Structure 1
């Protein structure tokens, strides 16, 4: 799993730990769960988790992060699928690329196509300006229904080594079949792309995501590009729980 850089702009994000939107109980579970499943590493101060709301249901709060928005350009699968996998990822993350190439296609084939699974991507750039630019480019490709193709192109073998400068991002968009490249460039540079990125990234910060890739399977955390079996087991468990009404 990629080691995260120290998070910048602490003061701009800290209020979100206390804001409505995701209960502090969710923060508490998220911080504890990511640390429990990730390799030993430095984590941000978790003192806020001590203020979790008594009697709340942290697992339900994390599960509720599944947006299930019709027409979500950064998602595949039915909105009413019993299992939702949320992926927090960075296009400069080598392990994210490994997951995208080796594991994700198998999950799509086995579970998305039969209606069991919905995958919702969250852009969570932690490796600097090129990470942010690639995230905005992926969002812009999605405006023309080419997110998944851009995602595949950006995570292809050797793609990261070429960098994610503006010209390279346009090249990837062309490779992904984005039809209107001028619109793509305008969307990538627009405020709407920045707002979408903030929404995804701040959601990850609220629940304590520290590294990429990180996942939630119906609210249950999985840290890192784990083997396929880890995901199939988690999906089977989540599907059984959903069927039982849990």
Structure 2
């Protein structure tokens, strides 16, 4: 049965590619987001690199076509921003209790949105990856529920505001964040956040991240290229521009005509 054998070989090849990338992402994820050292610097620094520290994923790994296929490119996805047919898709696996995720959201992401998303080059797809317990799970479900009313990114901004995570993500706090985000129907928000659909959506994202070998947050894929941690702005700019250059700056052609901004 030659066709069966060919399919089997193809599946093995894809699995091997993902496994290699997963190993890179897992190692780099820990290195980039491990606790601060005695000098108070989070993760790997330039000094560490000069001393022969483990290189990060974006330094060692190229793009993996198997991982690039994880981009959903759904024009109706409320947890994404940017054109569905943008040449570059950055998938972000993050937790609202994660300090490094908050740093990225406040310090780096707005610049990427202005420079690349607004110009149609980049699409950002969010994946809920709660790893810090019940509070993380509640925040993830709340974010998904806000998205049901078109206010995910406003909720995202409120939840990652300076000092927000220290207030926790209990039920009352989530309602406050929903109101701050401009969610019109808070009763529906609460119902959606507690629904089986919210739990299933969060679990799907979470399992996708674990399947890649991600062990901490934030973790990213830029057109299938793993990047871990709240890296300097330049790391993301280089990855995005390199990916855009490889596609010739053209849309991916997977969107089936879905190209409107979210």
Residue deviations 1:130-164 (CA, integer Å, cap 9, x gap): 10000000000000000000000000000011000
- Structure 2 residue 21 is matched with structure 1 residue 30: yes
Match of 1:152 in 2: 157
Residue deviations 1:209-228 (CA, integer Å, cap 9, x gap): 11100000000010100010
- Structure 2 residue 204 is matched with structure 1 residue 190: no
Gaps of 5+ in 2: 1-10, 35-62, 253-262
Alpha-carbon separation, structure 2, partners of 1:152 and 1:107: 15
Question: What is the 5 A alignment of 1:11-50?
Answer: 23-35=14-26, 37-38=28-29, 39=31
Normalised by the size of structure 1, how large is the TM-score? Answer: 0.81
Q: Which fold has the larger relative contact order, with Cα–Cα distance below 8 Å and residues 6 or more apart in sequence?
A: 2
CA RMSD of aligned residues (A): 2.1
Cα pair distance change 1:92/1:244, threshold 3 Å: closer
Normalised by the size of structure 2, how large is the TM-score? Answer: 0.77
Alpha-carbon separation, structure 1, partners of 2:133 and 2:245: 40
Cα pair distance change 1:135/1:68, threshold 3 Å: same
Larger radius of gyration: 2
Alpha-carbon separation, structure 2, partners of 1:131 and 1:244: 37
Cα pair distance change 1:176/1:116, threshold 3 Å: same
Gaps of 5+ in 1: 1-19, 42-57
Residue of structure 1 aligned with 2:114, choices 87, 109, 112: 109
Alpha-carbon separation, structure 2, partners of 1:200 and 1:25: 21
Q: What displacement does 1:205 show?
A: 1.1
